[in-house]
Amino acid sequence: MKNESPDMSIEEIKNSLSGHVSVMGKKIIFLETVDSTNTRAMELAGKGCEEGTVVIADAQTGGKGRLGRKWLSPPGKNIYMSIVLKPYISPRDATVLTLMSAVSCATAIKKCSSIPVTIKWPNDLMVSGRKLGGILTEIKADMDRISYAIVGIGINVNLDLMDMPGEIGSFATSIKHHSGDLYPRTKIAVEILKEMDKWYAVLLNIGKKPIADEWMLLSSTIGRAVKVTVGGAVFTGIAGSIDEEGMLMLKLPDNSVKKINAGDVVILG
C-alpha cells in the first residue's frame, strides 16, 4: 500500500481538510487497488470504524454500480471513494444520502472546473447528456434505523475516450474529456469531502428539505419527459419533482402521479 499516486496525495487531502470539516475524512485509507471501496468501507464499518472514515482507491477490480452492475475503474484516472456514515435516520430515508452526495459532488466539481454538472435522478452526475459519475449508497439497517451507510462515489476525472470500452464510450464522459484539460484528483476529492461535510450537517441539524431543494436546482430531470424503468416495468411521463424522501413524482399521461423510489431514467426531451 502506498500513500501517494500521481496527482492523488492523501497527505494533501488530510492537510486541506484539517480544520475545515467535522465528520468527513477523520480517517482516510488509501489503497492502490481494491475490489470495491464500498465493500472495503462496509467491512470497516462492520468492525466499528469511526463515522467519516473514507476509503479511496486508485483502481478497483470489482467496482460496483446499482443492481449488480459494474463500474469501470481503471488506475491513475478517476476518483473511487467511499464514506462511512452513521446517521440517526430510518432506512426509508436512505435515498436522501444519495441526493446529498449528488448535490455535494455536483457543487464540488463546478467549483473546481466550472463544468456545468447536473444530476439525473436518482444518482447520476451528468454533463451534456453524458454520465460523468455515479453514486452507490449501501446500508446496514436494524428494524427502524440505519446502523451505518456507505456512500460510494465514482467520478471520471481524467478518463479518455480510449479508456471507455464498448458502449460506455457512447454515453460516458470525464472532466478531461469534456473540458480538454487534466484535473488534479486531490483537489476534487477535497472539495467533495468539504461539501459532503457541509450538507451532512444540514441533514442532521435542519433536515431533508434543504437537500431536496438544492437537488431540484441542480437536477436535469425535473420538468422533462422521461422513461423510467423500474424492475421489469416501464413508465413514461413528466418528471414532476422529488419528495423529501427522494422519491420521483412521475406525472403519467392520465394525469395521475406515480411515486417511484428506485429506477433508471432516460430523458426523452
Site residues (vs ligand BT5, CB under 6 A): 36-38, 60, 63-67, 69, 71-72, 80-82, 123, 131, 134-136, 152-154, 156, 168, 172
Q: Specify whether the CB–CB gap between 250 and 266 falls below 8 A.
A: no
Q: Which three cell numbers stand for residue 74?
A: 481503471
Strand order in the sheet with 248-251: 257-260, 248-251, 233-242, 225-230, 264-267
Helix orientation angle between 185-205 and 94-113, rounded to the nearest 10 degrees: 140
Which lies closer to ligand BT5 via its Cβ, residue 85 or residue 135? 135
Which lies closer to ligand BT5 via its Cβ, residue 75 or residue 88? 75
Q: Which three cell numbers stand for residue 195?
A: 461539501
- Cβ of residue 33: shortest distance to ligand BT5, in angstroms? 12
Task: Give the separation between CA 22 and CA 171, rounded to whole angstroms.
Answer: 37
- Cβ of residue 3: shortest distance to ligand BT5, in angstroms? 19
Which lies closer to ligand BT5 via its Cβ, residue 207 or residue 230? 230
Ranked by CB distance to ligand BT5, the top (closest) residue is 134
- Cβ of residue 207: shortest distance to ligand BT5, in angstroms? 25
Which lies closer to ligand BT5 via its Cβ, residue 19 or residue 232? 232
- Cβ of residue 121: shortest distance to ligand BT5, in angstroms? 11
Q: Give the amino acid at 123.
A: N
Q: Give the amino acid at 246.
A: G
